[in-house]
Amino acid sequence: MMSTHELSEQEVIRRQSLQEIINLGIDPYPAALYPVNATAKHIHDNYKQGDEASFKDITIAGRLMGRRIMGKAAFAEILDATGRVQIYINRDEVCPGEDKTLYNTLFKKLLDIGDFIGITGYVFTTQTGETTVHATSFTLLSKSLHPLPVVKEKDGEVFDAFSDPEMRYRQRYVDLIVNPHVRDTFIKRSVMIKTIRDFLNEHGALEVDTPVLQNIPGGAAARPFITHHNALDVPFYLRIANELYLKRLIVGGFDFVYEFSRNFRNEGMDRTHNPEFTVLEFYVAYKDYYWMMEFTEKMMERVAVALHGTTEVQTGDNIISYKAPFKRVSIHQAIKEHTGFDVAAMDEDGLRGVCKELHIETDASMGKGKLIDEIFGAKCEGQYIQPTFIIDYPVELSPLTKKHREHAGLVERFELMINGKEMANAYSELNDPLEQRERFEEQAKLMERGDDEAMFIDHDFLRALEYGMPPTSGIGFGIDRIAMLMTNSPSIQDVLLFPQMRPEKVAEVKKEEEKA
């Protein structure tokens, strides 16, 4: 807890007000149930002038966000979870007796912007046409000790906006209070996830949970976070993917399973990557990647319509159409189209030569598949703005994928590209346990070469496959990236309530307070 000399002037004043409220015999943090029966949105959406009878006994609560004192009366504005509504308070109505302390002292002098108050009263329309709650009583519900940023607007210009990304992401609670569009972003994210969940449930999928702590970090090529289990005295990994556990459930007899999982990858942070992120993965027995492309199109179409009422969605400067079907392009075809190099038959040395000509950095740990992936990522990925399935990847790049039924050296895999970024990754799943073991062993060799994203060998998963897994298709969606698309957010931090940040330093806090 900070000592008094570290507090700002406003924080000192608020603490003094808190003590005066207590001295008045008023509990600044009452524990009793407050019987809210209306919201700002409900009032604005449903009240019509002349319909006072339906809104004569309103109880609403929220933060005090503005106040205009006019002697014995005042107008105020409160913010609840749904929006803002104006309040009218008359001294003699809220203090009908001789004692006017509640209005003259508490409301006029001791309340501050950010305090939570409760209002009972009725709804009416002011002479200026403003829908307003006429208070017959009010209650202090929680005293705010830290001042909110006061955002002002004059002649179309915004002043003192809480807009610095570092502060917004670190103090998301303040961001949500003073920036209404931020709240809307996270409401849309929630609607998006619900729409996807409903779509999957309608098709007979079963939602499941799989372990976050794993003794082998499998299911993806990524660097894991490592922790330690004290009771067992062994290392554990935070999951990088839930794929191998969901496939175990297909082995166990479930035909269609899915999970919204929090995954963790000990890698870089940028506008599209956060070390902790949300992935949706689902696996369907007796299906292949062709079926999965069609299913994905329909699901994305449903999401766009649920959030926007149309399949045409604005993302940055682009209008993206989610109307099925989506374009399909092989990864070799994409590289040839955007670089002029036909890499389909090239060996590792040839691919290194291409990378050199294209000024793409490589290292000795990269095998054939990783080199192709580097070329595609550097020169092709950003070209696919409209939803496009990039299909038929090299076998070296896809150790969990079934070999292509027609093209040697390739696997039945696709990645969904939208707005120049990967949004989903899907396979016809490899279910041959002997071949899967060989693929894992190839990954082990890459690990020996220094590839710290190569997959570990999961012997229990191999044992599960030996019991038999039916033909299966699976997919993983980057939920945060899809949320970016659907809310027109330029950074992944904008769609994460609490993105990872560097540890906050006391000196930096003091510096920001001095600026304020």
Residue 256: Cβ within 10 Å count = 18
**Residue 507 pLDDT exceeds 50:** no
- The bridge status of strand 276-285 relative to strand 312-315 is unpaired
Q: Which of 141, 75, 87 is nearest to 114 (CA)?
A: 141
Provide the pLDDT confidence category of residue 515 given band limits of 50, 70 and 90.
low
Six-digit token pair at 382? 């950003």
pLDDT of residue 2: 46
Radius of gyration of the chain (CA): 29
CA dihedral 348, 349, 352, 357 (to 10 degrees): -140
Q: What is the mean pLDDT of residues 278-306?
A: 98
Q: What is the mean pLDDT of residues 67-73?
A: 94
Q: Report the side by side order of strands in the sheet with 226-229.
A: 213-214, 234-238, 226-229
Instruction: Round to whole Å and give the CA distance between 95 and 100.
Output: 5
**Residue 350 pLDDT exceeds 90:** yes
Instruction: Round to whole Å and give the CA distance between 291 and 270.
Output: 33
What residues contact 13, with CB distance under 8 A and at least 6 apart? none
- The bridge status of strand 256-264 relative to strand 206-207 is parallel
**Residue 234 pLDDT exceeds 90:** yes
Six-digit token pair at 367? 């095998």
**Residue 510 pLDDT exceeds 70:** no
Provide the pLDDT confidence category of residue 442 given band limits of 50, 70 and 90.
confident
Q: Which of 9, 14, 21, 19 is nearest to 105 (CA)?
A: 21
**Residue 443 pLDDT exceeds 90:** no
Letter for the amino acid at 89? I
Instruction: Round to whole Å and give the CA distance between 389 and 293.
Output: 8
Q: What is the mean pLDDT of residues 13-38?
A: 95
CB 352 within 8 A of CB 372: no
Q: Which domains does the chain have, with CATH numbers?
A: 4-148 (2.40.50.140), 181-326+435-448+459-495 (3.30.930.10)
pLDDT of residue 315: 96
pTM of the model: 0.88
Q: Which of 20, 36, 111, 106 is nearest to 66 (CA)?
A: 111
Q: What is the mean pLDDT of residues 337-350?
A: 94
pLDDT of residue 219: 82
Instruction: Round to whole Å and give the CA distance between 453 and 399.
Output: 12
Q: Is the peptide bond preceding residue 325 cis, with omega within 30 degrees of 0?
A: yes
What is the overall mean pLDDT for the chain? 92
Q: Which of residues 167 and 186 earns the better pLDDT score?
A: 186
Provide the pLDDT confidence category of residue 415 given band limits of 50, 70 and 90.
very high
pLDDT of residue 457: 84
**Residue 511 pLDDT exceeds 70:** no
